[in-house]
Each structure stands twice: as structure tokens, then as C-alpha cells.
Amino acid sequence: MGSSKPKEMIKKQVMFSKGPWAPEEDRKLAEVIASHGAKRWKIIAAEAGLNRCGKSCRLRWLNYLRPNIKRGNISDQEEDLILRLHRLLGNRWSLIAGRLPGRTDNEIKNYWNSHLSKKMNQKEKQNGGIKREGSKDIDEKKRAEKVRKVEERSEEDSSNSSSSSFNVDDFFDFSNEDPLNLEWVNQFLQIDTAIAMS
DNA sequence: AACGACTACAACCGCTCTGCC
DNA sequence: GGGCAGAGCGGTTGTAGTCGT
């Protein structure tokens, strides 16, 4: 197709710099965010005098500059948790990251792609399962089905006990909750065990 | 020491969602 | 209701560092 962007659009296109961030860029970005807050990334980028797009600034802040970020050394417990959460949620990295204080979705995604996916493949091979094309979709369906069953069971329970039902999205929504409160882990492990047994 | 293969991770890209006008 | 901009998410790519030969 003839990519005929209107001249207006072409004129407005700005060439942002790409690639690794320099320490000076990090410093400027952090300064502007400290005074303006982490909102309106386009404006932040302009205020900081960075030749970066807002999107790039946001990513840099969230994945690298934000306070309380843990980097590297993912513990066995964290790894186990990632595996279990992934089994339940699939590739919903932001939800998984939300349950691992100090970890970012990008880090978990990278960790999964470089470490855990291989581990899973090895496990599958050990279990004698040479997976056919399309089996991933079947696994997804099975997983979704299991989650649904647990939700149903939980709803039945709640209709009996008048407590709130289990909903994956609600369960992993911690916006109103202290992220360091680990009570949810116990709840989650119970649910995960129920799924594994069903 | 040189070089290619592999790994880990930072950053980019494209898409969707959401809120505002 | 439709269009637009900003924000967020997941997939993918690029590259620096490491390892094996």
C-alpha cells in the first residue's frame, strides 16, 4: 500500500533518540518526576529537555529509576511464586509483578523468557511429553477451565457462606492493599493447590 | 588471543484501553 | 457516539557481556 501520510503528519514527526539511557538522562528524568510527579510523560520528557518520547521516559522510570526496585537475584520463593502465578494467570506480567514487591513486569517477563520457559520445556521433556503444534492453546483452555471450576466452587461456597466470591482480577487487584501484606499468598496457594488437584 | 554462539536484560514497537472533549 | 491523546501492556528486538572452542 502506498504509505501516504499527510504532509502535516510528516512535518510534526520528531526524531527522538533511542538506545541506552545515559546517567545524565536518568538524573534529569528523576529530577523532573520528583517535582512534577509520574504523570503526563510527554510533558515530563519536554521539561527534562530529553530528546526522548514520553513512552520511553515512562518505561525507564517504571523499570529502572523508580524507588524500591529490586534488581536481579530472584529468590527461589519468588521463582516458585512466578511459576504458580503464571500457571493461573498466563502472560499477564503486570498482574504477576503486582504481587512481587519491587519487581517489574518487564523483569519478570524477561526472567520468564530467559529462565523459566526453558525450565518448563525441560520439565515437559522429562515428563515424556513431546508437545504437538497447538498444544499451547489446549493448555491455555485447560487452565482457564480449571480456574473457572474453582471460581464456580468458590461462588457456591460464597452463596452458602455469604462471603465474597473468587475472581482472578479482583484477587490480584491490590490497589487498596498494602503490597507487602502477604496474606494473599496463603489464599493464593490454597487456590493454586485446589486447581492442581482438580 | 580471537571469534562465534549463547544468554540476559534494557529498550522499542504495536496494540488496546480509558478518559476527556 | 466519535475522535483524540495519554497510559498501560505484552511481544519482540538489539546489544553488551559471557562462555566455549
Task: Reduce the secondary structure of A111-150 to three states and give it as a string.
Answer: HHHHHHHHHHHHHHHHCCCCCCCCHHHHHHHHHHHHHHHH
Output the CA–CA distances (angstroms, integers) from residue A145 to A135, A187, A188, A196, A197, in the order listed: 15, 20, 17, 12, 13
Q: Is the CB of A55 under 7 A from strand C?
A: yes
Coil, helix or strand at residue A67: coil
Provide CB contacts within 8 A for A41, sequence distance 6+. Answer: A54, A55, A57, A58
- pLDDT confidence bin for A66, thresholds 50/70/90: confident
What percentage of chain A exceeds 70 in pLDDT? 53
| Protein-proximal positions, strand C, CB < 7 A | 5-12, 15-16
Count of helix runs (H) and strand runs (E) in chain A: 11, 0
Please state, rounded to an integer, the average pLDDT across all residues of chain A. 69
Q: Would you say A108 and A82 are in contact if contact means Cβ atoms under 8 Å apart?
A: yes
Task: Quickly give A103 CA vs B17 C1' distance in Å.
Answer: 23
What CA dihedral angle connects A20, A50, A23 and A60, to 10 degrees?
-60
What is the Cα A48 distance to its own chain's centre? 28
| Protein-proximal positions, strand B, CB < 7 A | 7-14
The 10s digit of each residue's pLDDT in A39-61 is 888 888 888 888 888 889 988 99
The 10s digit of each residue's pLDDT in A147-175 is 545 444 444 444 444 444 455 555 555 54
Distance, CA of A162 to CA of A155 (rounded, Å):
9
- pLDDT confidence bin for A129, thresholds 50/70/90: very low
Q: Is the CB of A39 under 7 A from strand C?
A: yes
Distance, CA of A180 to CA of A198 (rounded, Å):
30
Neighbours of A12 (CB within 10 A): 9
Q: Which residue blocks in A37-102 are alpha helix, DSSP H?
A: 41-47, 54-60, 76-89, 93-98
